Amino acid sequence: MFPFAPSTNYSYKRGFMTRQSQYSETNTLIRETLFTPGELTKNPLVIKGLRFEKSGSDYYYYGVYEILTGRTQTVATQITKESSLESPTQWLQTTTNYLFNSNLLPSVTTVVLPDGTQTETRTKYASDFNVTSPAATDTMAVALKKLNELNLGAQPVEQISKVTLPGVATPSTSASLTIYRDFGNNRVLPYQVRALPPGAAFTEAFLNGQVFTPAPAYRTLKIYREYDSEGRLLTEQDNKRNTVGYHYATGPSFPVATVAFSRAQQAVYEGFELPTSFGMTASGTGITYPSGWTGDKAIQFTNATAALVSSSVSLIQKASDFYRFSVWVNSPTAKTLTISLKQGATTVSTNLPVTASTKWTYYETLLNLSAITGPFSLELKTNATAAEPVQLDDVVLIHRDARISFQQSKPLTGVTFASDDRGHSTRQEYDAAKRATRAYDRNRNLVAQSDYLNRVDLPPCVFKANFTRSMADVLVSTPVTFTAPTTCGTGLAYVWEVDGQVQAGATSSSFSHSFNMLGEHRVKLTLTDGATGESVSMTDSFCVGANLV
């Protein structure tokens, strides 16, 4: 009806997949999944809209339409039927039902297996705990309040799974709990992961007044100790207090190093590929970045002022009196690498002799830090010259009992190398299509190679009788050659006609002819496939002009 108001927005109900079928190579149905939709609503409204159109200078026409809000559609039931491998005529059915809470979050998932086993998984979210005035000492309650204030109520808190076997009245229960903590600057992140021991008594977590109260039987599996300013995990501990730290590339933001038995701030790793969270920066002059031992880049010193220094702001946290330093060095002449550890006015220095070698060589030394009592920095220098440069790669500083593994990746490609603090490394190369091609061991011996055959599906050949002539302007009494290019077919037969007359002996893909009369002429090619009998033809019409030469 004019003025043609928009239709009601029922688009959320359209395009819902109701059936998915899978077939074998013999076109036999082997699996089928049926989906039943369910509509979810949260504060649904019907808003009236008006569309106006002006007619002339004094009249307006309008149309009324409705806008639906607070509605969505999702899967309510999923039934999967699968043909039995032992008895293909027997179908095994698995039924899954989904329930959602008032915030439209999946709260209960029930699965009934073909043998009658039933599993029920319930999920509770931060929004299920209405904390308004928590005690400052209640870490979880404070975090829950903050999550809801930040509209992060969809963060999962507790998951309870119950499995009921056929003929068994009492289900077995398992549960997991995530404790959150406010780490400041609106970083409310997981702090602990707890699990319920088998057979333990269980009650769901609840608020006792404003106190978060989980089941006493929960046991802590993991503690997330520290995050950086971007919310990336720095240090975690397992239930035996084993510590693991993580270093990240600060640009693409992916892990580059994992330090076992150490916090992230207690270790240094620099591979020169990308800026990292606990790496080193170049200082001084005479610095270039040639190809590296493990990656695409190393650092090269060409004078004694060139140096590598760790951050003066994020100092290295001391973990023990003994630290292990390692580095790959490429130096054609014998040189000295000076390692300096600094805390205020206190400096502990060690000179590491570097032997002459035209190959990358691994060096490692143990440093005594007993004179250093707190956070410190690391500085590396050499006695390199422009004529006798020194190249460094994969600089590592960790305390004696720690272990480190590190890797570098290319975005959208993959891991280019992986190494550890003992110098064991592997390198991976990729082709232009970002597929892994060659793998090398720590001595750069080729240990694996993958070759790919690129298949190009050419378009099907079209049987044609096209041909061309050797001159655009045909002149009287001047030979002109007509040529048909290669085409599809088997046992091809060529028939050439000039002005309706078949040319005897012209049975190949080309022939020549001289026209003795001025005016319009026609040349026709008929091409026949000897295998199929199919024939196609083409006619070229043109005017023959006078030869004035």
- Ordered domains of the chain (ranges, CATH): 1-99 (no CATH), 101-227 (no CATH), 245-420 (2.60.120.260), 468-545 (2.60.40.10)
- Structure-token pair, residue 30: 């082997």
Residue 549 pLDDT grade (very low, low, confident, very high; cuts 50, 70, 90): low
Q: For 454-493, write each residue's pLDDT tens digit.
A: 776 666 777 788 899 998 888 998 999 999 988 888 889 9
Under 8 Å CB-to-CB from 517, ≥6 apart: which residues?
A: 476, 544
Residue 175 pLDDT grade (very low, low, confident, very high; cuts 50, 70, 90): very high
Helices (H), 372-489: none
DSSP letters for 390-418: EEEEEEEEEETT-EEEEEEEETTTEEEEE
Under 8 Å CB-to-CB from 328, ≥6 apart: which residues?
A: 293, 294, 298, 360, 361, 362, 363, 392, 393, 394, 423
- The pLDDT score that the predictor gives to residue 3 is 64
Model confidence at 274: pLDDT above 90:
no
Q: How far is Cα 49 from Cα 269, in angstroms, rounded to an integer? A: 62
| Single-letter residue type at 368 | N
Q: In this predicted model, which residue has the larger pLDDT, 15 or 379?
A: 379
Integer Rg of the chain from CA: 39
- The pLDDT score that the predictor gives to residue 2 is 56
Antiparallel, parallel or unpaired: β 474-475 and 535-545: parallel
Q: For 55-82, write each residue's pLDDT tens digit.
A: 777 777 888 888 999 999 999 999 999 9
Please choose, from the candidates 468, 329, 483, the residue with its C-alpha nearest in 3D space to the C-alpha of residue 394. Answer: 329
* Mean pLDDT of all residues in 402-427: 86
* Mean pLDDT of all residues in 123-135: 96
At residue 534, what are phi and psi to the nearest 5 degrees? -70, 140
Q: Return the percentage of the chain with pLDDT > 90, whole number.
A: 68
Q: Return the percentage of the chain with pLDDT > 70, whole number.
A: 98
Q: For 146-155, write each residue's pLDDT tens digit.
A: 999 999 999 9
Under 8 Å CB-to-CB from 528, ≥6 apart: which residues?
A: 492, 493, 495, 534, 535
CB 331 within 8 A of CB 363: no
Residue 273 pLDDT grade (very low, low, confident, very high; cuts 50, 70, 90): confident
Model confidence at 432: pLDDT above 90:
no
